[in-house]
Amino acid sequence: MAANKFGRYVWLVDLIRCHPYITFKEISEKWENCGLGDGKPLPWKTFMNHKDAVQTIFDIIISCDTKRGYGYYIEDADLLEGDAFRSWLIDSYATLNQLQADKKLEKRISFEKIPSGNKFLQPILQAMRQNSVIEITHHGFGRSHPTTFLVEPYHLKVYNRRWYLIGWSVYSEDMRTYALDRIQSVVITDTEFKLPETFDIDKYFEGCVGIITDTEYDIERVVIKAYGWARKYLCTLPIHESQREISSDDESITFEFNVRPNYEFVQMLLQQTDQIEIIEPQWLKDGMCQIAENILSYYRK
């Protein structure tokens, strides 16, 4: 029942987010046809209870504009769209609602398989909640055997279908990033730690693409030119939040970035195959030329 109520709250948020200034009558009609309401209109009291619950659970305020036909809308909608976690949660649960409400869609929606490691989310979250050091057994790529060590869990991050733990390694005394699918066990210890007040995850990953910080790379201006299909692809799915269009013509769009041009950034550029060209800096352009020559040598053998 609790899960069903949670689904109703998400449905209401998603509906008003997609249909701003929607009247209660329209909301009730949508409810009647969505599958969650058993084909019955939405009672006014239930709507008001759901509206209050949405504010309590998600910190989302649903207001009514009496000057525009008593339409309901979400206050500070831009902040909601800018909150990656809340937006992801609402989008995911809204899709799950539809699958549960209409079994006909069950075989018509496909999801990517996520690497294992999700089973460690709950103990890590619990350790983060109470600031407890965890003991993890981790088998990193390139290592012949797993190792066990202590970590102060600071942050969890999702990237490229993988969960990552960012924390302070007690053994090496530095910040490390661990893929959860490479972790074999997690034990919450009785040792507490204090999260540094100066720790800022956005600052930690400033200028980075992905989960590799690579502080040996300075943040610098990178300019690329996109051709063909890559023009619209990069416009709709930017490589980095700093991406900015600076010029265009009939054949290309030129983009500017302020990033650490590390391995993961280059990998993102390589995904565009022959549809992009690095304009500057010269050292990065030379590096891409070397990669192209290496690839070409494989096929010339």
Element (H, E) at 2: helix 2-18
pLDDT, averaged across the chain: 86
Residue 268 is which amino acid? M
Q: Residue 11 carries which side chain, given as an amino acid letter?
A: W
Most confident of 35-49, 114-128, 229-243: 229-243
Q: What is the pLDDT of residue 81?
A: 65
Instruction: Determine the average pLDDT of the residues in 223-233.
Output: 96
Which position has the higher pLDDT, 68 or 296? 296
Q: Quick check: 147 and 137 in contact, CB under 8 A?
A: yes
Average pLDDT over residues 180-203: 93
Q: Tell me: the pLDDT tens digits for 139-175?
A: 888 788 999 999 999 999 888 878 899 999 998 899 9
Q: Determine the pLDDT at residue 153.
A: 95
The CATH number for 118-197, chosen from 2.30.30.520, 3.30.230.70, 3.10.350.10, 1.10.510.10, is 2.30.30.520
Which pLDDT score is estimated for 1?
Answer: 39
Share of the chain above pLDDT 90, in %: 55
Indicate the CATH number for domain 220-300.
3.30.70
Instruction: Judge contact between 20 and 73, C-beta under 8 A.
Output: yes
C-alpha distances in Å from residue 4, one per residue of 94, 99, 134, 180, 253: 12, 13, 34, 29, 47
Q: Which three-class secondary structure state does DSSP give residue 194?
A: coil
Angle between helices 24-34 and 44-58 (to 10 degrees): 90
What's the rounded mean pLDDT across residues 242-251?
96
CA 224, CA 209: separation in Å to the nearest integer? 16
Cβ pair 226, 278 in contact under 8 A: no
Return the minimum-mean-pLDDT range out of 29-43, 67-81, 110-124, 179-193: 110-124
Q: pLDDT class for 37, splitting at 50, 70, 90? A: low
